[in-house]
Structure 1
Amino acid sequence: MKFNSVFDIIGPVMVGPSSSHTAGAARIGKAARNLFGRQPKWARIHLYESFAKTYKGHGTDFALAGGLLGFETDDLRMSKALDIAKKNDLEITFIEASASAVHPNTVRLTIGDDTEQMELVGISIGGGKVEITELNGFELRLSGNHPAILIMHNDRFGAIASITKVLAKHEINIGHMEVNRKDIGKEALMVIEVDQNVDDAILEELEEADHIIQISKIVS
């Protein structure tokens, strides 16, 4: 892992014993909430390898719950997040997965409510940094450390151009972009990391672009 500053090595300000198992887990949980667009009513959380072995002692369980509730890593309510989740009618089930994973700090979250559900795979790579590697069956690489727009669209000519045209008009710079599709002409996922948070008004404009199905965002 490449560190950019001493603060990356020390880790973020947080409530909990471990930057990887607590702060990273909280950020994965919050990324899932942001992508879902609201607090879910239920969550099934599969923990792999190191996460599965130590999640109770290292606070990974309450950190994931705190993230799903929208807490920042330094929120003093974090250690009580499991109790707060119950009071907020958020039912969480933790499952210790026996399968191996590419990274020892891997978690698969399936979250939902009465109308829809979403599945996300995240890894905590150290120092509170995370990567989202899968969303609803699409492979991706999303750091969670920068504002991002995730766009589900039909795999058609002009879809990407229609999105970048709107971003350019509003002087929003793209730091990283990738597109993944399950098959030619089917649904595709566009992931765009940008330099600043994108206003909801711009998201509404993006939703009117060609071949767009759904848009969600992660704020910094």
Structure 2
Amino acid sequence: MKFKSVFDIIGPIMIGPSSSHTAGAARIGRVARSLFGREPKWANISFYGSFAKTYRGHGTDVAIIGGILDFDTFDERIIESIAIAKERGIKLQFIEEDAVPVHPNTARVMIGDENGELELVGISIGGGKVEIIELNGFELKLSGNHPAILVVHNDRFGAIAGVSNVLAKYEINIGHMEVSRKEKGKLALMTIEVDQNIDGQVLLDIEQLPHVLKVTKIVD
């Protein structure tokens, strides 16, 4: 069951004609921006399925760029987001992919600058809701609708328990948690959606744990 109330079906306050093709796309872009942590110098967006066929008419392109610029779904600047991005010197590329996606509203976002890159795959599931299903090659399931922590760590015994103990210490309730790894004993990604906001001290405590390499927070 994807929707909890009638308001989830109606969708969020937004700019654009479609909650799936505009609000959802904006949220995918904004999650990418939140994870990257800064404004990128370039963005390559690949659209699949329905997104590839209708992104111009439904404003999916301006919406996803608006999200990358950190505009919320109701921000009127979304309409001019492509022009704004170009004014800021951000190089943009849109690619219509022929591959059949797991969901018809799928976008692959690749953004970067001279200091790094980020790649994620997001799907818009309706009502403005999204799921991030891939991040830098790691499979995951992230809704983007709740505060979340992403923990990159070495795949070692006790790493998951250590993070869970820190969250328990601060009485933070876990709503969803999963771990993805590319290879046994190598790098792994812990995805944790929680019910409360997360302050900086929680992140610092997690960063100091053995085997933890990087901690990123996503705010709802």
1:160 is displaced (CA, Å) by 1.0
SS in structure 1 at match of 2:76: coil
CA deviations 1:52-96 (Å, max 9, x no partner) are: 111011000000011001111001111111111112222221001
* Number of aligned positions between the proteins: 220
SS in structure 2 at match of 1:86: helix
Cα contact 1:131–1:141 (8 A) shared by 2: yes
Aligned partner of 1:137: which letter? G
1:97 is displaced (CA, Å) by 0.7
Which residue number in structure 1 is paired with residue 107 of structure 2? 107
Q: What is the CA–CA distance in structure 2 between the aligned matches of 1:181 and 1:89, rounded to whole Å? A: 35
Aligned partner of 1:210: which letter? P
Cα contact 1:140–1:180 (8 A) shared by 2: yes
Which residue number in structure 1 is paired with residue 194 of structure 2? 194
1:23 is displaced (CA, Å) by 0.0
Which residue number in structure 2 is paired with residue 129 of structure 1? 129
SS in structure 2 at match of 1:16: coil
TM-score, reference length from structure 2? 0.97
Aligned partner of 2:66: which letter? G
Q: Deviation above 3 Å: which 4+ runs of structure 1?
A: none
Q: What is the CA–CA distance in structure 2 between the aligned matches of 1:182 and 1:69, rounded to whole Å? A: 30
Q: What is the CA–CA distance in structure 2 between the aligned matches of 1:56 and 1:178, rounded to whole Å? A: 35
Identity within the alignment, %: 66
Which residue number in structure 2 is paired with residue 155 of structure 1? 155
Q: What is the CA–CA distance in structure 1 between the aligned matches of 2:59 and 2:200, rounded to whole Å? A: 34
Which residue number in structure 2 is paired with residue 164 of structure 1? 164
1:199 is displaced (CA, Å) by 1.4
SS in structure 2 at match of 1:213: strand
Q: What is the CA–CA distance in structure 1 between the aligned matches of 2:171 and 2:91, rounded to whole Å? A: 41
1:2 is displaced (CA, Å) by 3.5
CA deviations 1:117-170 (Å, max 9, x no partner) are: 111000001110100000111111111111110111000111111111111111
Q: What is the CA–CA distance in structure 1 between the aligned matches of 2:172 and 2:13, rounded to whole Å? A: 29
What are the ranges of 5 or more consecutive residues in structure 1 without an aligned counterpart? none
User: What pairs with 1:1-220 in structure 2 (closer than 5 Å)?
Assistant: 2-220=2-220
TM-score, reference length from structure 1? 0.97
SS in structure 2 at match of 1:40: coil
Q: Which moved more, 1:80-89 or 1:105-114?
A: 80-89
Q: What is the CA–CA distance in structure 2 between the aligned matches of 1:25 and 1:147, rounded to whole Å? A: 19
Task: Name the Cα RMSD after superposition.
Answer: 1.0
1:34 is displaced (CA, Å) by 0.7
Cα contact 1:36–1:216 (8 A) shared by 2: no
Q: What is the CA–CA distance in structure 2 between the aligned matches of 1:101 and 1:136, rounded to whole Å? A: 18
SS in structure 1 at match of 2:180: strand
Q: What is the CA–CA distance in structure 2 between the aligned matches of 1:201 and 1:60, rounded to whole Å? A: 37
